[in-house]
């Protein structure tokens, strides 16, 4: 329950920031173009707070935090008061109208740069992309990747950490070959060609790395407990943080994986767990609880292990000065933009399944997780969602900013507006398409948590 509340709170904060940024873009450029703004609303539905400025704009925070809007004076829907004709949106030159509409997505991209700039100033702790294991006969094994190799680039893009590796690998979905540059344990650099023509993976079940046959390096788990869950079977039995498990039912436990396998495969069993606590051996009787999983009924105790230390140089921090952070933030924002466009193209061509679409539930979970890791991670998450929001709004679908820009572009080229009847049908078709996409995304979200 606490996790749900945290994720919901982080989601509301993130969405509120991003909606405010997007709508402020429309608002600011509209004001600069002399358009009268009647209402600036964050959220929909019943107003929770409102204030009217001296310039006649009503500022509102509404009850449903799933969007927002800027309502401008427009002769197509409003009765224009005498003397206000030059302040109506529809009476402005087409290029000014295009600028007002494009400003929302544009400010989303600028906000992403600002968020990433702050992230690089604060510093983001991350891990070198060193491979821990390689599955026999997998795609990467056939290409010659070995355990201990460090992935330094995918294609022409450098990959200083696993996030970069994942992003660049995903960009090669649908291509027959993926060039990967590695540095082996002897310090020799070489480029491998992964045969990815038949590469398919389900993002709900595995990561791109696992589907290719490799796992990232991380320190091994020890048999010493770092966490004992509140009201868990382990806590009820008397296990404590710092205990080192040595035996179960007089059988030695070799490693954490063996312990997990033993517990998971014996739901409901009563076991004697021998531990070392403060230099003394104790035997604790515990009942393995049951819980349902995608693999069926499994046992669990509710404990987590301590891990060995990271080797020197594996963990580092992306942190730069005020000047270098600008170029770093701009470059990463541009890459997120191009990758988002590539993914939309792959959805249209079928290289990426619609099952990969995520909706508000997944976004809320991502907001909660990133906020839990700290400010730098939350800023990175905000930048990613802001870029996606900007790109999606630029799609040439009526109902979205891109649809309005499409109509205005036609007007700019032909010298006359698109007929109202055509626009109306476009809005209807766009509404259906948008509702369909949102429905698929929400269904995917529900499937992921069910």
* pLDDT per position as a tens digit, 264-317: 888 888 989 999 998 899 998 989 888 876 667 788 898 999 999 999 889 998
With respect to residue 363, please indicate whether it lies within any of the assigned structural domains: no
Residue 148, number of CB atoms within 10 A of its CB: 16
With respect to residue 243, please indicate whether it lies within any of the assigned structural domains: yes
Active site annotation includes 230: no
**pTM of structure:** 0.82
- How far apart, in whole angstroms, are the C-alpha atoms of residue 168 and residue 157? 7
Please name the residues in contact with 416: beta carbons below 8 A apart, sequence gap of 6 or more. Answer: none
H/E run at residue 407: helix 401-414
Which segment, 325-334, 372-381, 434-443, is predicted with the most confidence on average?
A: 325-334
Tokens found for residue 422: 């055509």
With respect to residue 255, please indicate whether it lies within any of the assigned structural domains: yes
pLDDT at 53 over 70: yes
Res 449: pLDDT: 58
In which residue are the tokens 């909660």 written? Answer: 368
Closest CA to 161 of 169, 152, 173: 152
With respect to residue 114, please indicate whether it lies within any of the assigned structural domains: no
The SS3 assignment for 8 reads helix
pLDDT at 359 over 60: no
In which residue are the tokens 């590469």 written? Answer: 199
DSSP one-letter code for 44: E
pLDDT in tens, 120-162: 999 988 999 999 999 999 999 999 999 999 999 999 999 999 9
- Residue 178 β-bridge partners: 194
- How far apart, in whole angstroms, are the C-alpha atoms of residue 230 and residue 249? 24
pLDDT band at 355 (very low <50, low <70, confident <90, very high): low
Please name the residues in contact with 392: beta carbons below 8 A apart, sequence gap of 6 or more. Answer: 400
Which one has a higher pLDDT value, 88 or 443?
A: 88
With respect to residue 326, please indicate whether it lies within any of the assigned structural domains: no
Please name the residues in contact with 395: beta carbons below 8 A apart, sequence gap of 6 or more. Answer: 344, 402, 403
Residue 122, number of CB atoms within 10 A of its CB: 16
- How far apart, in whole angstroms, are the C-alpha atoms of residue 405 and residue 101? 7
pLDDT band at 11 (very low <50, low <70, confident <90, very high): confident
Burial group, residue 45, by CB count within 10 angstroms (0-12, 13-18, 19+): exposed
With respect to residue 233, please indicate whether it lies within any of the assigned structural domains: yes
State what percent of residues in the chain have pLDDT above 70. 90
Tokens found for residue 57: 């704009």
Res 294: pLDDT: 62
Q: Contact at 8 Å (CB) between 364 and 8?
A: yes
Closest CA to 44 of 19, 79, 25, 76: 19
Res 276: pLDDT: 93
- Residue 181 β-bridge partners: 153, 191
Average pLDDT of the residues in 18-41: 92
As a whole number of Å, the CA-based R_g of the chain is 27
Closest CA to 240 of 219, 224, 251, 256: 224
| Angle between helix 375-393 and 94-122 (nearest 10) | 160
Domains in the chain: how many in total?
1
Residue 82, number of CB atoms within 10 A of its CB: 5
pLDDT at 101 over 90: yes
Q: What is the extent of the structural domain holding 287?
A: 221-305
Exactly one of 23, 150, 306, 342 is catalytic; name it: 23
User: Where are any strands of DSSP class E within 288-413?
Assistant: 289-293, 296-300, 303-307, 315-318
- How far apart, in whole angstroms, are the C-alpha atoms of residue 159 and residue 151? 7
* CATH classification of the domain holding 279: 2.30.42.10
With respect to residue 174, please indicate whether it lies within any of the assigned structural domains: no
With respect to residue 260, please indicate whether it lies within any of the assigned structural domains: yes
pLDDT in tens, 176-222: 899 999 999 999 999 999 998 888 776 667 788 888 999 999 999 99
- How far apart, in whole angstroms, are the C-alpha atoms of residue 396 and residue 146? 45
């Amino acid at each position: 329950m606490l996790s749900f509340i945290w994720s919901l709170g982080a989601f509301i904060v993130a969405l509120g920031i991003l909606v405010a940024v997007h709508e402020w873009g429309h608002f600011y450029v509209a004001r600069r173009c002399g358009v009268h703004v009647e209402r600036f609303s964050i959220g929909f539905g019943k107003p929770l707070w409102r204030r009217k400025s001296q310039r006649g704009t009503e500022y509102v925070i509404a009850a449903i935090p799933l969007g927002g809007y800027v309502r401008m004076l427009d002769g197509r829907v409003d009765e224009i008061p005498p003397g206000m004709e030059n302040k109506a949106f529809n009476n402005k030159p087409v290029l000014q109208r295009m600028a007002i509409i494009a400003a929302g997505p544009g400010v989303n991209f600028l906000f992403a740069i600002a968020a990433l700039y702050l992230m690089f100033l604060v510093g983001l702790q991350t891990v070198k992309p060193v491979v821990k294991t390689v599955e026999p006969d997998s795609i990467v094994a056939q290409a010659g990747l070995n355990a201990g190799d460090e992935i330094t680039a995918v294609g022409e893009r450098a990959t200083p950490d696993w996030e970069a590796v994942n992003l660049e690998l995903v960009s090669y979905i649908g291509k027959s070959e993926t060039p990967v540059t590695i540095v082996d344990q002897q310090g020799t650099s070489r480029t491998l060609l992964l045969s990815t023509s038949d590469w398919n993976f389900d993002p709900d079940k595995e990561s791109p790395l696992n589907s290719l046959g490799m796992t990232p390096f991380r320190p091994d788990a020890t048999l010493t407990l770092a966490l004992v869950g509140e009201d868990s079977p382990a806590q009820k039995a008397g296990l404590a943080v710092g205990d080192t498990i040595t035996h179960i039912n007089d059988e030695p436990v070799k490693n954490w994986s063996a312990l997990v396998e033993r517990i998971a495969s014996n739901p409901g069993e009563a076991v004697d767990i021998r531990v070392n606590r403060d230099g003394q051996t104790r035997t604790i009787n515990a009942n393995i609880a049951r819980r349902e999983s995608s693999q069926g009924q499994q046992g669990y105790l509710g404990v987590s292990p301590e891990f060995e230390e990271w080797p020197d140089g594996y963990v580092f921090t992306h942190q730069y000065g005020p000047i270098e952070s600008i170029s770093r933030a701009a470059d990463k924002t541009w890459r997120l933009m191009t990758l988002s466009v590539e993914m939309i193209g792959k959805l249209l061509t079928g290289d990426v399944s619609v099952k990969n679409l995520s909706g508000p539930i997944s976004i809320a979970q991502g907001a909660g997780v990133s906020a839990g890791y700290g400010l730098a991670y939350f800023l990175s998450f905000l930048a990613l969602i802001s870029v996606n929001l900007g790109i999606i709004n630029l799609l040439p679908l009526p109902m979205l900013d891109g649809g309005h820009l499409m109509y205005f572009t036609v007007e700019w080229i032909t010298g006359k507006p698109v007929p109202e009847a055509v626009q109306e049908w476009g809005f209807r078709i766009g509404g259906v398409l948008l509702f369909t996409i949102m429905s698929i995304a929400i269904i995917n979200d529900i499937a992921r948590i069910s």
